[in-house]
């Protein structure tokens, strides 16, 4: 597992057990062994098996984890997802940290899948996340988005260009902003420009934007924008997106719909850890 | 500001701008200055002013932040919360990280306040969080819970004892578990024991539990438990808590109601950053 | 082993061998193997076997460590405590770091045991540490205190309330201080209040302190305080504690005696590492 | 202040106030200011003023610290050493961490001075520390040793050569060990060789050791060794050193006496923090 | 300055002065002040002023640095680049670390400028770096490349797609590789494909590669590739690039030339730090 | 492997794959396995086998690495140096980081060997590095210097004394500087003094310098200095050293020649990673 992810896990463990576990150390013999199953309490899309296993392995290298439901697969309420075996103490000490991580991950993959499922059958429109991720957990959350069948937007401010209103004002217009960004950005990064009207769209297209982001546009306007763009750029709809609008936006012909709520407001998936009697 | 919080902020900045900001560096002159206001897009309880200011200050020590709405106060939709002034580049580079942090914090304080407001007037019952916090952000989230008017539960596995079913099984019963925990825990930590029936409650009280946690009990059973306890222990209700049940549980006489959803599923508060023209 | 402890060990190794070991790399062939025994040069209480093993394992994952004397057990002068086997270079490179750690740990457990042994037979009074621990090593030192048979006081400023003179002055009296702390602290944390006279004791008890700390009181005054408290609170004696006073304080009826010297002034236990010829 | 020291301080603060200070936040108003004096409760050699100030400054950049007694100076019992002014909360939150650090530092400088004072007047023998320092605090402790008037031994395994018995065995004799070390070590590092008899001393001198360490030798043997060496090498006495033997070892003519107890067993200096009424 | 860069600087300082500076502390009075000028010993392109200043500021917050030659400007041999003023000790302690950093940065910007200057006048071809940067210093080195007038390639493996021979084999051909990458990558990242022949070029173009990398092709073949591509993709030449070939490759019509040597083999620029008498 | 080196590797991996590898994850099946050989494209001195293996092992603990050419041995162009086997994804993800590290290491060992080979046969003069190393990689680079057959100079500012012009001025002359340094430095560290003329040399020798550094002296002057020193000190030549001058400086009788270019300007060794078909 990548050192970056281990650092996230170690950080999380530090918060919870840097001073040990008063209860477990008092009540559970050091030699006790146990088997515990992570159970989906509701339907969900599974994600985070490696993270789940790694939490216990960081506490105790001898812990074993079995996977019953694969990454990205759907679990029905009551399904057994993973099984961890080994020291009872280690299971109890890692339980909360492991669940906090995978509940967030599965919460995100589940909501992402819901948006993906709202697309019309055969649609080529992609659902994407945004940079509205939990500080410190971006890599995990972007992974969860993918497991839900959605796509990632740019990773960070250094990996692609996204010109917003303030950049446009500062640069003195869309054309200037795009040409400066083109001159500055790696040739491997696309240039995306946010537009709020058809006039701005025209300017962005004329300036050679690779991607235009239609910001908070009603569906009718989106349709006109798609027509006007006429394949000259990749079209992303963003802002004011609800589950209900996914199909109509896809029908309108946008290439992608980006949704902050995928990560910033996903409720935790309900997963319990049941010990074998 | 405490080094621990600065580390959280630095971590978050690292995710987003370790390789710089392609767009801003291309479009915004190094010497441009700007003023931007954090605006509540909906009603919310404010929390995180110091964090908001610190994000910009870590990027650029000369940034200035003004506070318009105090911590724990209610902001109406449209209200100006904070104002940041200084380098336009630094504002744009810190914007997403600052918002990701305070939207989560305000989201939690807002939902916490909603639960607190659901208590009957004059109630002494306290609403508390749990350890179901976002990995890496526990200190910030516990603070947000308090700003919402709710209380914190134990900080981590080393700060108090909470005996759950697996501990009871491993220790050979409630009495054993409590006496072992009493012998092991610092005298400054209380001993809490989870119970699922009146029989278990009796055992926990007999063993001298400081706190009993009524796990997933219907309100009628809670009432019986409160009566039976008769002030011999602090009573916490937990599991299956909804906003609707808060009042009836408070009337039933519990001392505290703990709610994982305060932190694990709080939707981000909607805050925007508006630049002054 | 918990990531927090590994970080302590890595930190310690960094100080000593970040630039390698000039002597060992020059004199000892890379393939040489050795067996070395940690020997107690004096009587002591053993503590730190896992740490001892982990130091060598961090340098070289193939190192093996055997335990001859269990944690918390007494070793006589000359006794073999642990044996490490493997690369001679790795043993020599880790020797000082390992010894520095376990000598401190055994030093603390040994002095803690001495205080515990000074209690009258059958006494229920507990000996506790304080927060006067070595910066960076608190988790290890609190563990060592427990291995010595003593108890831990609160872990840190966030895990329990301890109201001291300055808090009392700032809050406007003991009653105010206690009620504010009660309102603020998690219900899982006890409220302790330091008192220096019987008048203050009365105020603390009236305000419902869970624990009263008798600060620097002569034994006679302690006796009066115990009587006056009459089981209404847990009583901790602190300040000016010497080995000689332990028995009389226990007889006076205090519940706990807290001693900073357990950690801040424990001399290192004398442990040597002897190589097998 | 050097980043390395700030990291030590941040680490220490993390242990104590990562989750805040329940008591102080409850009892002390956010706007309260205070002035507190660090007072020597006993005679001691002062050391750590910068560290003391930095602890408070890391919590709150506006804190002010005045120095009344200079580094390395002697403070009489009752003397005011430093004064910190600013937020009362910040003083209370930093108090224990600051004291834990400076009590250890002053403890070491005080005991170091005691050994230095035991040297005959005008003696050129130097008292030195060893690598038996507290893991994680070596830089601070070596500084404290110097403030006590003693000297530092090599910093770590990479900064100088010290050939001990196991190296000699592995290398096949003293001559081999020294010549290999000479070939491997930077020309800026001296070669020190531990000897336990006059025979070994002869071998070390013949092989060109820069420094010979007389290990655990009685004073008579030390005298013979000094004579025999006849200025051909720097002579360090080590092992079994007590305060009582310092003068006789100095008279015997050794150049340095190294003492692990300077750092591994120095009792904390008794320093209190008194708030101005 | 961004926390990520401060971490690089702190890391570098840790290597050099974690145990202080024996010489400076011995020879230079604590109160001595000095003024020192960074002087270009040869012609070079300047880069790193902020880093230079930050090294000294991390050691001592009161240090002042003046900039005489702007970032990206050319300095003639003998020119004064920056001036640092303040504690003489702090200047001496930071000197080597500061120079090590800026000599590398200026070395890179200087060599980058040399390649850029080798382009025919008015050429639109861009010179770019690669991921062959010094481990740990990528952000600094990419910045230096830009100061030299060259461009950056993708930041890391997560910011854009670059399909190489092994990916093609694993995916079962260029078409498969590109379509899989298109499906997986964020829509903000371009898809680049390495080709070694015109056949592969045709496949990559047919599959819709945004960028084709002509790997190690002689200039004649490059010309054919440019013609054949006919603006359907951005063309990057890579491998076997020398200063001599820049003009001919530009004339051949490639859009970019990527050169590992910009970062992996740039000799340090010769900069000295001269103290004012 | 030492934790310090693992931290360097983790840092490097963080730069490159913290957000994963878009291309590899898209194109290469998770279960694919591969075998890849590190091939010397030119003649070089090998160094970094452990680092090479550790990069892959940090990503994936199951990776296996075989060593074909030992550390410090010469590889001919085309030679197979190491082979890594295991997950194809892990090889592709670690490839660039591993190569960036070992190319630098082999680059340094190769250039170091070139200087060593320029010494006259049988010469006792040693070639040494300086502190002009890449920030963050000093430990690796000093190791590479040794593998090239050269020697290390002092590790850092805390491991030995090197008095330069500014120290001399600040201390009021060479004699003062040396005696202060002698008084301050550990007895295990040598005192080196930079001299630029025979007068300064005389002063340094008179003051008892252990090492004199002849700074930027022409060979004739070096010869005079060697004669004048007459074995009273170790002699190091530094400044303006080229490969061509090595032999004449050795013949002149200096003990060491220190060369910054060994580390600050070593071009990366050309190593490729070839996958088995």
The proportion of chain B whose per-residue pLDDT surpasses 90, expressed as a percent, equals 97
pLDDT at A277 over 90: no
CA distance B55 to B8: 10
* Nearest-angstrom CA–CA distance, B208 and B175: 9
Q: Which helix (H) or strand (E) holds C211?
A: strand C211-215
Going by DSSP bridges, is the β-strand pair C64-67/A126-128 parallel, antiparallel, or unpaired?
A: unpaired
pLDDT at residue F232 is higher than 90: yes
Q: Of B10, B19, B20, which has the smallest distance from its Cβ to E3's Cβ?
A: B10
Mean pLDDT of C252-262: 97
pLDDT in tens, C182-212: 999 999 999 999 999 999 999 999 999 999 9
Q: How far is B205 from chain A (nearest CA, A)?
A: 18
Contact residues, chain F, for E185 at CB < 8 Å:
22, 26
3-state SS string for chain A:
CCHHHHHHHHHHHHHHHCCCCHHHHHHCCCCCEEEEEEEECCCEECCCHHHHHHHHHHHCCCCEEEECCCCCCEECCCCEEEEEEEEHHHHHHHHHHHHHHHHHHHHHHHHHHHHHHCCCCCCCCEEECCCCCCCCCHHHHHHHHHHCCCECCCCCCCCCEEECHHHHHHHCCHHHHHHHHHHHCCCCECEEEEECCHHHHHHHHHCCCCEEEEECCCHHHHHHHHHHHCCCCEEEEECCCCHHHHHHHHHHCCCEEECCHHHHCCCCCCEEEEECC
- The size of chain F, in residues, is 277
Inform me whether the pLDDT recorded for B2 exceeds 90. Answer: no
Section C115-141 average pLDDT: 97
Judged against a pLDDT cut of 80, whether residue E8 lies above it is answered with yes
**CB contact F57 to C (< 8 Å):** no
Percent of chain D predicted with pLDDT > 70: 100
CB C47 within 8 A of CB C147: yes
pLDDT digits (tens, 9 = 90+) for A81-139: 999 999 999 999 999 999 999 999 999 999 999 999 999 999 999 999 999 999 999 99
A138, A147, A186, best to mutate vs chain E, most E CBs in 10 Å: A186
Residue E3's pLDDT is what?
86
Confidence of residue E186 (pLDDT cuts 50, 70, 90): very high
Q: Check pLDDT > 90 for residue F3.
A: no
Polymer length in residues for chain C:
277
Contacts of D23 in chain B (CB under 8 A): none
Tell me whether residue B30 is exposed, middle or buried, using C-beta atoms within 10 angstroms of its C-beta: 0 to 12, 13 to 18, 19 or more: exposed
Q: Give the C-alpha distances (Å, rounded to integers) separating A221 from A195, A215, A217, A252, E151.
A: 12, 11, 6, 9, 38
CB nearest F155 (choices: C19, C58, C60)? C19
pLDDT, position C100 = 98
Task: Tell me whether strands C191-195 and C64-67 are parallel, antiparallel or unpaired.
Answer: unpaired
Any idea how long chain B is? 277
B154 at the A interface (CB within 8 A)? no
- Edge-to-edge strands of the sheet including C33-40? C64-67, C80-87, C33-40, C271-275
Interface residue of F136, F154, F188 to substitute, partner E, most E CBs within 10 Å: F136
Contact E126, E255 (CB under 8 A): yes
What is the SS3 assignment for C54?
helix
Q: How far is CA F78 from CA F81, F82, F84, F148, in A?
A: 9, 12, 17, 20
CB contact at 8 A, B89 and B44: no
Are the C-beta atoms of A153 and A238 separated by less than 8 Å?
Answer: no
Q: Which of D18, D22, D59 would you mutate first to test chain B, the one with the most B CBs within 10 A?
A: D18
CA distance F264 to E35: 26
Neighbouring CB atoms inside 10 A of E226's CB total: 20
Residue of B nearest to D20 (CA): B139
Residue E215 is a catalytic residue: yes
Angstroms from C151 CA to nearest CA on chain B: 6
Contact F261, F111 (CB under 8 A): yes
**Which SS3 state, helix, strand or coil, does residue D134 take?**
coil
Q: Which residues are bridge partners to C237 per DSSP?
A: C214, C257
Partners of B256 in the beta sheet? B126, B236
Contact yes or no for D27/C177 (Cβ under 8 A):
yes
In the stretch 106-145 of chain D, residues with CB closer than 8 A to chain B read none
- Could you give the CA distance from residue F16 to residue F10 in angstroms, rounded to a whole number? 10
The model's confidence at residue E40, banded by pLDDT at 50, 70 and 90, is: very high
Q: Locate the DSSP E strands across chain D.
A: 33-40, 44-45, 64-67, 74-75, 80-87, 126-128, 161-163, 191-195, 211-215, 234-238, 256-258, 271-275
- Per-residue pLDDT tens digits for E95-140: 999 999 999 999 999 999 999 999 999 999 999 999 999 999 999 9
Would you call F148 helix, strand, or coil by DSSP? coil
Q: Which residues make beta-bridge pairs with D127? A: D257
pLDDT at C277: 80
Stretch F65-91: mean pLDDT, rounded? Answer: 98
**Neighbouring subunits of E (3+ Cβ pairs under 8 A):** A, B, D, F
- CA–CA distance, E147 with B249 (Å, rounded to integer): 65
Q: List, in sequence order, every residue forming a beta bridge with A66; answer none if it has no partner.
A: A83
Question: C75 φ, ψ to 5°?
Answer: -110, 135
A63 touches chain C (CB under 8 A): no
At residue D246 the predicted structure's pLDDT band, cuts being 50, 70 and 90, is very high
The predicted structure's pLDDT at residue B1: 74
Helices (H), chain B: 3-17, 22-27, 49-59, 88-117, 138-147, 165-171, 174-184, 198-206, 219-229, 246-252, 261-264
Q: What average pLDDT does the structure give for chain E?
A: 96
pLDDT of residue F1: 74
Q: What is the pLDDT of residue E258?
A: 98
Asked whether the beta carbons of residue B3 and residue D13 sit closer than 8 angstroms, the reply is yes
Q: What is the pLDDT of residues A227-251, one digit of tens each?
A: 999 999 999 999 989 999 999 999 9
Cβ atoms of E10 and E249 closer than 8 Å: no
Quick: pLDDT tens for E47-85.
999 999 999 999 999 999 999 999 999 999 999 999 999
Alpha-carbon F32 to chain mean position: 37
Contacting chains of D (3 CB pairs or more, <8 Å) are B, C, E, F
Query: What is the reported pLDDT for A96?
Result: 97
Residues across chain D: 277
Contacts of residue B175, Cβ cutoff 8 Å, sequence gap at least 6: B203, B206, B207
Structure confidence at residue A3 (pLDDT): 86
**pLDDT surpassing 90 at residue B109:** yes
Torsion, Cα of F223, F225, F226, F228 (10° steps): 120
Compute CA B206 distance to the chain's CA centroid, rounded to the nearest angstrom: 33
Q: What residues of chain E lie within 8 A of the CB of D7, using their CB?
A: 10
CA distance D266 to chain C (A): 7
Q: Convert A197-244 into a string of H (helix), E (strand) and C (coil).
A: CHHHHHHHHHCCCCEEEEECCCHHHHHHHHHHHCCCCEEEEECCCCHH
Question: Which residue blocks in chain C are alpha helix, DSSP H?
Answer: 3-17, 22-27, 49-59, 88-117, 138-147, 165-171, 174-184, 198-206, 219-229, 246-252, 261-264
Q: How confident is the model at residue D277 (pLDDT cuts 50, 70, 90)?
A: confident
pLDDT (0 to 100) of residue F156? 96
pTM of the entire predicted model: 0.96
Segment F14-57, tens digit of pLDDT: 999 998 999 999 999 999 999 999 999 999 999 999 999 999 99
How far is the first Cα of chain F from the last one, in angstroms, to the nearest whole number? Answer: 32
Q: How many CB atoms lie within 10 A of CB A61?
A: 11
pLDDT in tens, A65-76: 999 999 999 999
Instruction: Please report which confidence band the pLDDT of residue C24 belongs to, taking 50, 70 and 90 as the band edges.
Output: very high
Contact at CB, B159 and C160, closer than 8 angstroms? yes
State whether D26 and C160 contact (CB < 8 Å): no
Q: Is C1 a residue whose pLDDT tops 80?
A: no
Please, which residues bridge with residue D194 across strands? D213
Residue E192: closest CA among chain A residues belongs to which residue? Answer: A188
- Give how far A208 is from chain E: nearest CA, Å: 14
The answer to whether the beta carbons of residues D271 and D69 sit under 8 Å apart is no
The residues, ordered by sequence, that sit 6+ positions from A117 with a Cβ below 8 Å of its Cβ are none
Stretch E234-247: mean pLDDT: 96
**Average per-residue pLDDT in chain D?**
96
Beta-carbon separation of A160 and E189 below 8 A: yes
Q: How far is C33 from chain B (nearest CA, A)?
A: 40
Contact (CB, 8 A) for A187 and A210:
no
Q: Annotated catalytic residue: which of A74, A80, A85, A132?
A: A132
């Amino acid at each position: 597992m990548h050192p970056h992810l281990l650092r996230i896990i170690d950080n999380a463990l530090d918060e919870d057990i840097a001073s040990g576990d008063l209860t477990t150390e008092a009540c559970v013999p050091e030699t006790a062994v146990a088997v515990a199953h992570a159970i989906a309490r509701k339907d969900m899309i599974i994600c985070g098996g490696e993270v789940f296993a790694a939490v216990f392995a960081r506490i105790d290298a001898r812990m074993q984890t079995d996977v019953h439901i694969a990454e990205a697969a759907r679990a029905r309420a009551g399904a057994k997802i993973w099984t961890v075996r080994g020291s009872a103490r280690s299971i109890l000490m890692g339980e909360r940290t492991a669940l906090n991580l995978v509940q967030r991950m599965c919460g995100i993959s589940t909501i992402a899948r819901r948006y993906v499922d709202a697309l019309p059958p055969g649609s080529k429109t992609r659902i994407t996340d945004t940079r509205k991720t939990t500080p410190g957990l971006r890599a995990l959350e972007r992974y969860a988005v993918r497991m839900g069948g959605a796509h990632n937007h740019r990773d960070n401010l250094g990996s692609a260009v996204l010109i917003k209103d303030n950049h446009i004002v500062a640069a003195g217009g869309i054309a200037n902003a795009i040409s400066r960004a083109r001159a500055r950005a790696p040739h491997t990064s696309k240039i995306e420009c946010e537009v709020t009207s058809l006039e701005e769209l025209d300017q962005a297209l004329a300036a050679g934007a690779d991607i235009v982001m239609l910001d908070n546009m009603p569906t009718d306007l989106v349709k006109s924008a798609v027509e006007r763009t006429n394949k000259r750029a990749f079209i992303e709809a963003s802002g004011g997106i609800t589950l209900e609008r996914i199909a109509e936006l896809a029908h309108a012909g946008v290439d992608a719909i980006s949704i902050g709520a995928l990560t910033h407001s996903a409720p935790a998936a309900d997963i319990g850890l049941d010990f074998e009697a």
